[in-house]
């Protein structure tokens, strides 16, 4: 029996998911919805799907087994709420929203409906992250340094605070999520940031946070969108006798034997989509980030971003 998926959003990330889903046997992307009808038509054509200018038409017309929500941060909320009302399992791309209340309200509704959910923190599916976790089991991290030094994406909503929530919420959230997986929960800290005339839009163009974890480890997380291209994106960890540098593509391990590089062996986008579909079919249980779990990372990112505006305490 074919598993029918609806896709809301027709941007780059939506395309990654469409290609990954189309490669799974017995899965059909039934429809793609985007307010830019031309984008919906182009992406839908790649999978032989129907194109819609509004997500409401997609869920009204198509018989769906699940809905992927791959929209800008400011557009989250209404579409997920409609899916909950219909009992549709959800895959939601991060971040969950620009703010915290929207995501908290949705988490409660999703829990109340008992829906299967997954959120696109795809770094969790890196085999190199699993390698890092295994190494840290023997020598827990004492320090973590997260860095996202990059350019501003060329989409109109990204550089608006009310469109993206800022770089800390939209991009650096991946760093916080990896840190939660490998180091544990954050107890508190301090953050600051600023913006300049050279920066894009009205968002902070530099931000840094010093955090303390419940384990006693300490961390520093910095992000900037002032560069002409991606320069340094990843998480560095320091443990007794062990150093790790994890990116989306590789893991560099430094220990008593020297330094070695482990390249990822899996496509994390494909892996998270396979896991969601398997759970949807009742054939697997490898969803690593439910909506409720993603809310913990989102709360951390939003709290840091809020504290950074005027330079303040990160209180969780």
Q: Do domains 3-122+270-289 and 123-265+298-315 have the same CATH topology?
A: no
177-233 pLDDT, tens digit each: 999 999 999 999 999 999 999 999 999 999 999 999 999 999 999 999 999 999 999
Distance (Å, whole) CA 243 – CA 145: 11
9-27 pLDDT, tens digit each: 999 999 999 999 999 999 9
For residue 1, what pLDDT is reported?
Answer: 86
**Average pLDDT along the chain:** 98
The domain spans of the chain are 3-122+270-289, 123-265+298-315
CB-count exposure of residue 232 (10 Å: 0-12, 13-18, 19+): middle
Averaged pLDDT, 20-46: 97
Percentage of the chain surpassing pLDDT 70?
Answer: 100
For residue 185, what pLDDT is reported?
Answer: 98
278-292 pLDDT, tens digit each: 999 999 999 999 999
Distance (Å, whole) CA 160 – CA 158: 6
H runs (alpha helix) in the chain: 12-22, 37-47, 55-61, 78-86, 101-113, 127-138, 161-164, 167-170, 173-182, 268-280, 291-310
Distance (Å, whole) CA 175 – CA 59: 33
**Placement of tokens 């163009």 in the chain:** 205
Beta strand spans in 120-226 (E): 143-149, 186-194, 206-213, 218-224
94-124 pLDDT, tens digit each: 999 999 999 999 999 999 999 999 999 999 9
Q: Which CATH class is domain 123-265+298-315?
A: alpha beta
The CATH T-level fold of domain 3-122+270-289 is Rossmann fold (3.40.50)
Flag whether pLDDT at 84 surpasses 90: yes
């Amino acid at each position: 029996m074919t598993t029918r998926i609806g896709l809301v959003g027709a941007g780059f990330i939506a395309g990654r998911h469409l290609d990954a889903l189309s490669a799974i046997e017995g899965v059909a992307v039934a429809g793609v919805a985007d307010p830019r009808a031309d984008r919906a038509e182009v992406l839908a054509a790649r999978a032989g799907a129907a194109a819609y200018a509004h997500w409401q038409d997609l869920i009204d017309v198509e018989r769906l087994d699940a809905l992927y929500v791959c929209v800008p941060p400011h557009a989250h909320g209404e579409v997920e709420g409609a899916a909950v009302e219909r009992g549709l399992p959800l895959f939601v791309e991060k971040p969950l929203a620009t703010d915290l209340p929207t995501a908290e309200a949705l988490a409660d509704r999703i829990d109340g409906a008992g829906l299967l959910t997954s959120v696109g923190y795809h770094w969790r599916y890196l085999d190199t992250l699993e390698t890092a976790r295994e190494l840290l089991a023997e020598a827990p991290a004492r320090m973590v340094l997260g860095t996202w030094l990059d350019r501003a994406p060329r989409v109109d909503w990204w550089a608006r605070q009310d469109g993206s929530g800022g770089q800390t919420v939209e991009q650096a959230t991946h760093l916080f999520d990896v840190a939660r997986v490998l180091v544990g929960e954050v107890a508190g800290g301090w953050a600051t940031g600023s913006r300049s005339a050279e920066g894009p839009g009205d968002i902070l163009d530099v931000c840094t946070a010093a955090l303390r974890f419940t384990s006693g480890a300490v961390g520093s997380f910095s992000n900037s969108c002032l560069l002409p291209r991606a320069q340094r994106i990843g998480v560095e960890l320091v443990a007794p006798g062990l150093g790790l540098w994890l990116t989306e593509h590789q893991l560099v391990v430094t220990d008593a034997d020297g330094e070695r590089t482990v390249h990822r062996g899996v496509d994390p986008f494909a892996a998270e989509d396979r896991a969601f579909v398997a759970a949807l079919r009742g054939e697997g249980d490898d969803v690593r980030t439910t909506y409720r779990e993603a809310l913990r990372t989102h709360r951390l990112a939003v709290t840091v971003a809020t504290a950074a505006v005027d330079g303040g305490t990160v209180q969780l």
